[in-house]
Structure 1
Amino acid sequence: MDRLFLSDKLTNAELTQIARSLNDNYHAFLLDVQVWELIKSVVPSDIYKSEIQPLKKKFVGHKIVNDIVMNYYMGEKKVKYHLAKQFINRPNEVSLFEFNVGSSRLDFARINGHSYAYEIKTELDSLEKLEKQLIDYSRVFEYIHVIVHPKHYNKVYDLVPEHCGIATYNSEKSNFPFSYKKKRLLNPNIEPLTQLQTLTVKEINSILKIFGIEATSLTRKEKEEKLLESISPPKINHLFKEHIKMRFQKRWFHICNHIEEIEPIDLQSFFKSTIDPALIYYKNSSIV
C-alpha cells in the first residue's frame, strides 16, 4: 500500500503519540478485527473516518499499523528491521533476535565463522545500561557493535571499550543507511564458562557426547566444569558458535524465505514463531 500521509492532518507530536501507542499495544498475531479496533482507539475519530477507515476493505490492519509506526515512530523495531535486512540470505550465516547473556538481552546477533553482537540505542533510549550490557556481550561474542542515533554518538564513544565498534543510522533517508564510525576489534574478553552457560542442557549434553565424556549423574554446573577441564577455550568458542547457529538456523531461514511478505515491525515475532505470514495477514481473520 502507499504510505499514509497524515502529517498535513496532525501535528508531529500527535503523530508520534499515535505511533507510540500502536507500537506499544500492537502484536503481530492479533486478529485483523482486533488490529482495526486498536487503530480506531488511538487515532482521532475524524481522521480515522476520513483517512483510514476507507482502507479497511482492502488492507489488513497490520499494514496500517506498520505504515504508521515505521514512518512516525523512530523506535528500536525500525532500526532492527533495517539492520536485519542487510544480512538476508548470506551463505553459511545465521542471524538472531533477542539473545540472553547474563542479565542482559542482546538486540541482534550474527553467527558465521565468527560471532557478532549488535546493541541498538535509538534517540528514545537511555544509555544507562549500556556499559553493563557491553561487559556481558564481551564475555561471549568475538565482535561487538553499538548501533546508535547520531545524537548519542559522542556519549557512546566515551562509554564503549576499545574493541567495540560504533555505527550510526540516518532515519531521514528512505534506505536508512548505516555509517560505521568506529572500527570493531577482536574482543579479548571472551569467557568460556559464560559461553557454556548460554547453551541449553541439550546442547551441553551434545558436546559431552561428542567428546566421550560420561556425565549422566552430574549436575549442570558439574557438566560445565567438566567441559572447562577437558576442552580448550578456542574449541569452546567454536562449539558455542556452532550450537547457537544450529539452534536458530530454522528461524532465520524462515525470515529469509518470507522477508518480502512480513511487515517490518513484525519481523521478530515471525522469527520466534516461524508461522506462515499468509495465516496472519488474512483479511477475514476475524471469522477464522
Structure 2
Amino acid sequence: MSKKNNYFEYAKLLSNQYSTFLSNASVEHKVLEIFDGQLPSQFDDDLTIRESLNKFLLHHYPNETTIKSTFINNVLLKTNNHVSIFELNVGKSRLDLCKINGISKAYEIKTDLDTPRRLNQQMTDYFQVFDEVYLICSEKNLNIMLPHLQKECGVYTYNVTKKGRYIFKKYRQASTSNYISSLAQLSALTKKDLFSFFKCPHLETKDAMINFIINNKTDKEINKLFKLCLKNKFRENWGFLVDNNSDILEIDYQWFFKNLLSPKIVYL
C-alpha cells in the first residue's frame, strides 16, 4: 500500500486504535507499528507524537470526531454565554452536539462516511426538543442530504483544504421549530432533573412525574426550564473545555468534556 496515496486508510487505522488515556509511548508504538517502523514525513519533529497524530487525523480523516471538534473551534467557541453539550439522547436518536442559551440549537453531523438513511428519524426527534435544528455536512454531500431535511432545518457545510484546514459556512438559517413537544423534552431528562428543576415530587415512575409536570406547567414554562436544566447540568463540563481549550487536542475534546481531568496529567 503506497503511503503517499493512502493516508486516509492509515489515518482510519490510527483513529480506530487511538485512545486518549494511552501513554505517549503507547501512542508512538501504535504509529510506528502502522507505518512499518518509520514515522511518516507529515509527522513534525517540532511536535509531540500526540500533536503530530492529531494534525494527521484532522487532515486525512474527516470523521465525526474531527468535524465536531473543528466546528466547536470555528463556530461555537466564537460566542460566549452559552453551554454546548456532546452527545445527548433525544427520543430514538443520539444528538452529536447542542448549544443552549436563550435558544436551544441541535447539530447533527453527517460526514462523507455517512448516509442520510437515519436523517428522517433524527430530525423528527430533534425538532420536538430544540428551538432550532441544524445539519452539518460537506459541500459535496449537500445535495444528497437536502431532500431528507425539513424546510425549517438549518445547514452548515464544511470543506477541508489541501493543508487540512476546515472551513464552515452557514448555507441556510434554521427556522424556529413548530413541533416542540413538552413530553419529548421531559423524556430526554432524568427523574433527578425533573425533581430538581421542575419542582416535581418524587413519584414512583418517570412517566408519572412527566404527567404531573405537563398538568401543572405550560409548554412555554417547560421549554424554558428544559434549557435551564441542560445549562446547569453541563455548565461545568463545557466550562472546563473552554478554560483548557488551548491545552487539549481536538481529537480529545469529547473525552475531556466527559472526564474533567487536567490535560497536563493525561498528556504526561
TM-score, normalised via structure 2 length: 0.92
Does the C-alpha gap of structure 1 residues 145 and 198 become closer, same or farther in structure 2, counting only changes over 3 Å? Answer: same
Instruction: Give secondary structure in 2 for the equivalent of 1:88.
Output: helix
What is the CA deviation profile of residues 218-271 of structure 1, one whole-angstrom value per residue up to 9, with x for unaligned ones?
Answer: 322111100010000111000100000111100101111011111111111111
Residues 60-99 of structure 1 show CA distances to partners (whole Å, capped at 9, x for unaligned) of: 4322321221121121222111211122273321011111
Match of 1:79 among 39, 46, 67: 67
Residue 17 of structure 1: aligned partner: 9
User: Structure 1, residues 106-153: CA drift from partner, whole Å, max 9, x if none?
Assistant: 111100000000111111212111111111111101100001111221
Match in the other structure for 1:61? 49
Sort the Cα spacing of 1:99 and 1:216 in 2 relative to 1 into closer, same or farther, 3 A.
closer
- TM-aligned CA distance change 1:217 to 1:118, over 3 Å: closer
**Partners of 1:222 and 1:256 in 2: how far apart?**
38
Q: How many residues are paired up?
A: 265
Q: SS of the residue aligned with 1:224? A: helix
TM-score (norm 1): 0.86
Alignment partner of 1:119 out of 108, 122, 133: 108
Preserved CA contact (<8 Å) 2:153 2:175: yes
Q: 2:106–2:130: 8 Å Cα contact kept in structure 1?
A: yes
Residue matched to 1:270: 256
Contact 1:89–1:256 (Cα < 8 Å) also in 2: no
Aligned to 1:190: 180
1:224 pairs with 2:216? no
Determine which structure has more spread, i.e. the larger CA radius of gyration.
1
> How many percent of aligned residue pairs carry the same amino acid?
29
Pairwise CA distance, 1:207 = 3.2
SS in 1 for 2:89: strand
1:151 aligns with 2:140: yes
Residue 77 of structure 2 aligns to a residue whose secondary structure is coil
Aligned equivalents of 2:82, 2:41: Cα separation in 1: 43
Q: How does 1:89-168 map to 2 (within 5 A)?
A: 90-168=79-157
Q: Quick check: 1:279 aligned with 2:265?
A: yes
Aligned with 2:71: secondary structure?
helix
Determine the C-alpha separation between the residues in 2 that align with 1:26 and 1:197.
Answer: 34
Distance in structure 2 (CA, Å) of the matches to 1:100 and 1:227: 20
Partner of 1:5: none
- 2:11 corresponds to which letter in structure 1? A
Structure 1 range deviating more: 19-28 or 171-180: 171-180
* Residue number in structure 1 paired with 2:24: 32
Letter in 1 for 2:23: L
The answer to which structure, 1 or 2, has the higher relative contact order (CA under 8 A, 6+ apart) is: 1
Match of 1:243 among 212, 229, 251: 229
What SS does the corresponding residue of 1:178 show, helix, strand or coil? strand
Tell me, what secondary structure is at the counterpart of 1:254? helix
> Could you tell me how far apart the structure 1 residues matched to 2:182 and 2:135 are?
23
Measured in 2, the distance between the counterparts of 1:167 and 1:159 equals: 15
Report how far residue 51 of structure 1 moved: 4.7
Aligned alpha-carbon RMSD (Å) = 2.0
- What letter corresponds to residue 226 of structure 1 in structure 2? F
